[in-house]
Amino acid sequence: MDSFEFNKISAAVLSGILLIMVLSMASDVIYSKPTSDKLAYSVEVPETTAAAGAEAVKAPSLAELLQNADIGRGEKEFKKCVACHTSAKGEAHRMGPNLFDILGRKMASADGFGGYSTALKGEDREWSYDLMDQWLKAPKSVVSGTSMAFAGIRKPQSRANLIAYLRTQADTPKDLPAVEAAAEEVEEAPATE
């Protein structure tokens, strides 16, 4: 191979590299993407007010949920509990205490059950409807240090169904809490022309 042949090959390679670089820069200019210092787009959400006609949806209270509770569904919910608890009168304790007549009873007070955690034994409260609802939602948030390994029930109606079922598991079921009448405030809208 003589020097003329070598020069032709070198020129072709260098011309190809130069062409690729020029095309790359030209495509960056033609198809450039605008850059922004912000990493996200801001989304404007209109504020809603009661005056604008939007009404806040109020979740039903526990008393309302209990009034409409389905005991049959509560019994099905209790199947999550049967690995550790029983609910009928006279049934033996399991890993957890028997829950017969639990509502209105002092916490950690089931006769013959000695498996309560120290944290639960230190409680001086009675099992009310509200306390039971909180417990079924997240036991460790009610009594930190409890040995009950249960994640909780997320749906309020499911908890109310279970509480209604537990209420029936007593010689004399505790009265349901009264549903408080909601005070409705009627605001007069300003006259518009």
**Span 9-66, pLDDT tens digits:** 999 999 999 999 999 999 888 887 777 666 666 677 777 655 545 456 788 899 999 9
d(CA 132, CA 35) in angstroms, rounded, equals: 55
For residue 93, how many other CB atoms are within 10 A of its CB? Answer: 17
- At residue 38, the pLDDT reads 66
What per-residue confidence (pLDDT) applies to 185?
39
Question: Which two three-digit tokens encode residue 8?
Answer: 């032709």
Domains in the chain: boundaries:
62-168
Residue 186: how many other CB atoms lie within 10 Å: 4
State residue 184's pLDDT score. Answer: 42
Q: Quick one: average pLDDT of 115-122?
A: 92
Please count the CA atoms within 13 angstroms of the CA of 121 that sit on its side-chain side. 6
Least confident of 69-73, 145-149, 160-164, 180-184: 180-184
Q: What's the pLDDT score for residue 164? A: 95
Which pTM value belongs to this model?
0.65
CATH code for the domain defined by 62-168: 1.10.760.10
